[in-house]
Structure 1
Amino acid sequence: MTQTQPKKVTVVKCPTCQTEVVWGEVSAYRPFCSKQCQMIDFGEWADEEKAIPGAPDMSDSDGWSEG
């Protein structure tokens, strides 16, 4: 008789509140625990409180001129 290995469940922490969230179909807002945490994170990106590290894009910079 062959035994089936139990399926491992991946659990991640919500980026906003650090609550543990199951990574799967049961978590509609993954990696967030709720719509509220998802919207808080979205607001932080929209307000430019969060950014991907790298050199600034000088083409849209205030004070940039073509010379």
Structure 2
Amino acid sequence: MNNSQSPAEIETAQAKAQAQEKRNELMEQASYAAQSAKASMQQAGQQIKEKAQVATEAVKNATGMNK
């Protein structure tokens, strides 16, 4: 900021800086949310896989395919 800037120019520069900071905060929050969603989906997928394996073994046992 220098003495040749008008009050309106100063306010505009401040508003731009505040908007950029808010954008950065929102982007960071979105990144954390995406990482959390990814981890949740991976965990859910693993649980489904494990349940499918248990069900497969139960069917094999019930039909005598495991002998």
TM > 0.5:
no
TM-score (norm 1): 0.29
TM-score (norm 2): 0.29
Say which structure, 1 or 2, has more relative contact order (CA 8 Å, 6+ apart). 1
- Higher percent of residues as helix: 2
- Higher percent of residues as strand: 1
